[in-house]
Amino acid sequence: MRLQDGAELTGLPAVEAKNVTKTFGAGPDAVVALDNVSVTIGQNEFFTLLGPSGCGKTTLLRLTAGFEMPTAGSILLEGHEVAHLPPFKRPVNTVFQSYALFPHLTVAQNIGFGLKMLGRKRKVIDEAVTEMLKLVRMEPMRNRKVHQLSGGQQQRVALARALAPQPKVLLLDEPLSALDLKLRKEMQIELKRLQHETGITFIFVTHDQEEALTMSDRVAVMSRGKILQIGTPTEIYEHPVDRFVADFIGETNFIEAEVTQRIGNKGEIRLPSGIEVPRELGQHVAVGGKVTLAIRPERIDLVRPGADCHLAGKVENIVYFGTDTHFHIDLDSGGDVTVRVQNRRGHQDVLKMGDAVGLRIAPEAMQVLKD
């Protein structure tokens, strides 16, 4: 079967949301957390829901776990409708943002909790617990109480607890947000490894776009209850479909351009400097209309002012970042852009503030946005 972005899937999708709407409250105070959202998540995928707070990503997660029921639409797990099922009837487990480890139980008892509720035999539970402890490398902590563990250790126990019952899908609700930077980076690698080893579908919720890009197989960018774009990290980064996605992920420059020609999908656009560039255009733009281009700072080359460049301007500010240097350029045609140059040969003191420069951009790097 095919997914929205055209990727191929084998077998039934692990999770599918069809036209899901979730409204909280009623009347004029009602909040629409999810607005007719549809997404298909495949088996063995590391899928991330990315967006600012309030975008609905946590709501979608909770709907999948069973803590909320959709106001409209359906939730399917491997093809079965589950929206009406309570959480303890769904083969889905959650790693909570606050970990929610049971304070009155030991680490081993926490990890074995799910299996105990399912009625497994003592021996089976013990073996599973041992295996899980090995998986998250917490064997010596087996009989500790939760409050004796550090934040990172609690996180790993929460993971082990959710993985022990071998769910079809693992939901992670911003699990790394409470950790310091170094620990976060370690856990990101750890989570990726776990997903590969267990083969379980991970649905990961975060507002950190860097996290999303580094860990995911595919990302869904959400805002205000809607999914704006689903794609691999590369697709999201290099071909954002609209302004929000372009702005939310990494840094972007926005340039206005005018459509001068159009034949079918292809056409020409005119940059503010007057240069014309051939680009693919979607249905919605007509000749004479304006489009916004999204251009990543690292895709712009700085060249000597003169011909053979797409835009021209003056250096307004230079910021040194160690690995690279950012140049803020005031465009002759108005507005400004940021250009990122990697310091491959160390810091080069070639340009100074006020210097005139030319900007060369590969046409493929000019992403035409939907709005």
Partner 1 sequence: MTAVADTRRGRPGPRPVAAAARPKGRRFDVKTLPGFAVMAWFCVVALYTPIAVLVAYSFNDNNTVVIWTQFSVRWYGIALNDEEIRDAALLSLKVAFLASLFATTFATMAAIATTRVPNYRGLTFIYAIINQPLMVPEIVTGIATIVFFGLIRQATGIYGIGYLITAHIVFCIPFAYLPIRARLEDMDRTFENAAADLYASPWQAFRHVTFPLLVPGILGGGMLAFLVSLDDVVISVLVAGPGETTLPLYVVSQIKRGITPELNAMASMFLCASAILATLFFLLTRRKAK
Partner 2 sequence: MATETADTPSAPQPVSTASAVSSAAAASDAIERRAVVKRWLLSAPALVVIIGCGLMPLLIIFAYSWTKPAEYAGVIWHFQPDAWINVLFQEDLFSDALSPNWAYYSIYLRSILIALQTTMLALIIGFPTAYFIATREERSRNAWLFLITIPFWSNLLIRIYAIMMIIRDEGYLNHALLAIGAIDQPLPIIFTNYALSYGLIYAYLPLMVLPLYASLEKLDFRLVEAGYDLYASRFKVLWHVIIPLVKPGIVAGSILVFIPAIGDYIIAQILGGGKRMMLGNLIAQQFGTARNWPQGSALALTLMAVVMLALVFYATKSQRKRAA
Verify binding: residue 126, partner 2, rule CB under 8 A. no
Q: How far is CA 27 from the centre of its chain?
A: 33
Sequence-ordered list of residues with C-beta below 8 angstroms from that of 308, at least 6 positions apart, any chain? 358, 360
The residues, ordered by sequence, that sit 6+ positions from 318 with a Cβ below 8 Å of its Cβ are: 325, 326, 327, 328, 351, 352, 353
Exposure on the CB side of residue 317, measured as CA atoms within 13 A: 7
- Could you say which of partner 2, partner 1, none residue 100 binds, taking C-beta under 5 to 8 angstroms by partner kind? partner 1
Q: Of partner 2, partner 1, none, which one sits near residue 70, judging by CB under 5 to 8 A according to partner kind?
A: partner 2
Determine the size of the site formed for partner 2 (CB under 8 A): 29
* Closest distance to partner 2 from the beta carbon of 174 (Å): 25
**Part of the chain binding partner 1 (CB under 8 A), chosen from 27-35, 112-120, 237-245, 262-270:** 112-120
At its nearest, how many Å lie between partner 1 and the CB of residue 91?
9
In the complex with partner 2, the residue whose CB is nearer, 167 or 297, is: 167
- Chain positions 153 to 212 lying near partner 1, rule: CB under 8 A, are 161-162, 165
| Alpha-carbon gap, residue 249 to 223, rounded angstroms | 13
Does 13 engage in binding with partner 2 (CB under 8 A)? Answer: no
Distance CA 156, CA 135 (A): 10
**Span near partner 1 by CB under 8 A; candidates 35-43, 95-103, 241-249, 336-344:** 95-103
- Out of 11, 31, 69, 102, point to the residue binding partner 1 (CB under 8 A): 102
Show the site string, 159-188: x = touches partner 2 by CB under 8 A, - = not.
Answer: ------xxxx--------------------
Amino acid (1-letter code) at residue 252: T
* DSSP bridge pairs for 170: 93, 202
Cα angle 363, 316, 275 (rounded to 5 degrees) comes to: 30
Mask of contacts with partner 1, 24-63, x by CB under 8 A? ----------------------------------------
Residue 198, interface with partner 2 (CB under 8 A)? yes
Q: Which of 14, 51, 13 is nearest to 170 (CA)?
A: 14
- Choose one: 78-86, 229-237, 272-280, 334-342; the region binding partner 2 (CB under 8 A): 78-86
Q: Which range in 1-9, 85-93, 134-142, 246-254 contacts partner 1 by CB under 8 A?
A: 85-93
**Cα distance between residue 178 and residue 117, in whole Å:** 29
The amino acid at 334: G
Backbone torsions φ then ψ of 75, nearest 5 degrees: -120, 125
In the three-class reduction of DSSP (H, G, I as helix; E, B as strand; rest coil), residue 184 is classed as helix
Q: Among residues 21 and 153, whose Cβ is nearest to partner 2? A: 21
Q: Which of 69, 118, 189, 286 binds partner 1 (CB under 8 A)?
A: 118
The span from the CA of 116 to the CA of 113, in Å, is: 5
What part of residues 18-37 is at the interface with partner 2 (CB under 8 A)? 18-19
Paired with 74 in beta bridges are 18
With contact defined as beta carbons under 8 Å apart, do 17 and 203 qualify?
no
81, 127, 139, 251: which one binds partner 2 (CB under 8 A): 81
Site for partner 1, rule CB under 8 A: 65-67, 86-88, 92-94, 96, 98, 100-104, 113-114, 116-118, 161-162, 165
